[in-house]
Amino acid sequence: MPSGVAVNGLVEMRRAIAKFAPDVKKELDKEARLMLRVMVSDARGFAKSGLVPSGWTEISGKKITAQTSMFGKSSRRKFPFYDVSEIKRGITYKTGESKTDSNGFRSFYRLQNQSAAGAIYEWAGRSNPEGLPWVGPKGDPNNRKVSHSRNPGAGKNFINILDGKDGYRQIHGKKDGRLILRAVEKDQGRFRRNIISGVERAMVRCQERMNITDTFGGSNG
């Protein structure tokens, strides 16, 4: 499942801007896309060869979609190859109003990590540094919240190797994402501040135009 980072709380404001100041909305979107592209480029740059355990087969541009070696040949559950080119292609941005998420939020600007391998590399160990609870290869293959490896300590070992090869999460002393979240941290909040500042400026212009409409009557089109 794709993983992503969203900037929330702007949807209602953008609707007003689109209605009363569409030219301002266009300027705001253009500025946002420029900043999003920088973060996408940074995140793609963090995806490199040689950063994963030897048991996670690394390929390059081949037409192969899945393997079973990490869970044993008898396992029915598949595991994606670590394909750097595919991971980079899967890191992108989206604009447009999203559906309401489980926390009741919607967003308009989003960074997304859309490949399965990219999501695994991004999030492994962030919620549970010990790895997923172990059930072994005979467990329900449809249960993605447990480890199906033959090795009970595989999850923790997998995470430790990723951290050891990359070094980023250990250097910063916290469990965080390795690709898009790392790019967001590198941005140091500039994107969020610029967007909020841009929206505030746009709302002032919207209010000015609504005041003119109220004064002289008619529609702002």
pLDDT tens by residue, 155-199: 899 999 998 888 777 666 666 789 999 898 889 889 988 888 887
Identify whether the C-beta of residue 123 lies closer than 8 Å to the C-beta of residue 115. Answer: no
- Kindly report, residue by residue over 66-110, the tens digit of the pLDDT: 554 444 444 455 778 899 999 999 999 988 777 877 777 777 888
Q: Flag whether 15 is in a domain.
A: yes
3 strand-pairing partners? 113
Calculate the CA 172 to chain-centre distance: 19
Q: Flag whether 221 is in a domain.
A: no
DSSP state of 217: -
Q: Flag whether 128 is in a domain.
A: yes
φ, ψ dihedrals at 218, nearest 5°: 85, -170
User: Around 141, how many Cα atoms within 13 Å sit in the side-chain half-sphere?
Assistant: 10
- Kindly report, residue by residue over 27-61, the tens digit of the pLDDT: 888 888 999 999 999 999 999 999 998 888 888 65
Structure token digits, residue 183: 């790019």
- pLDDT for the residue numbered 121: 93
- Kindly report, residue by residue over 126-153, the tens digit of the pLDDT: 888 888 888 888 888 788 788 888 888 8
Question: What distance in Å separates the CA atoms of residue 126 and residue 95, rounded to the nearest whole number?
Answer: 26
User: Would the CA dihedral through 195, 197, 201, 207 be positive or negative?
Assistant: positive
- pLDDT for the residue numbered 150: 84
Q: What is the total count of domains within the chain?
A: 1
Identify whether the C-beta of residue 118 lies closer than 8 Å to the C-beta of residue 87. Answer: yes
Question: What distance in Å separates the CA atoms of residue 88 and residue 91, rounded to the nearest whole number?
Answer: 5
Q: Flag whether 146 is in a domain.
A: yes
The CB density around residue 175, as the number of other CB atoms within 10 Å, is 16
Helix ranges, the chain (H): 11-20, 22-46, 84-90, 116-123, 154-166, 168-172, 180-187, 190-216
Domain with 115, as residue range(s), is 3-216
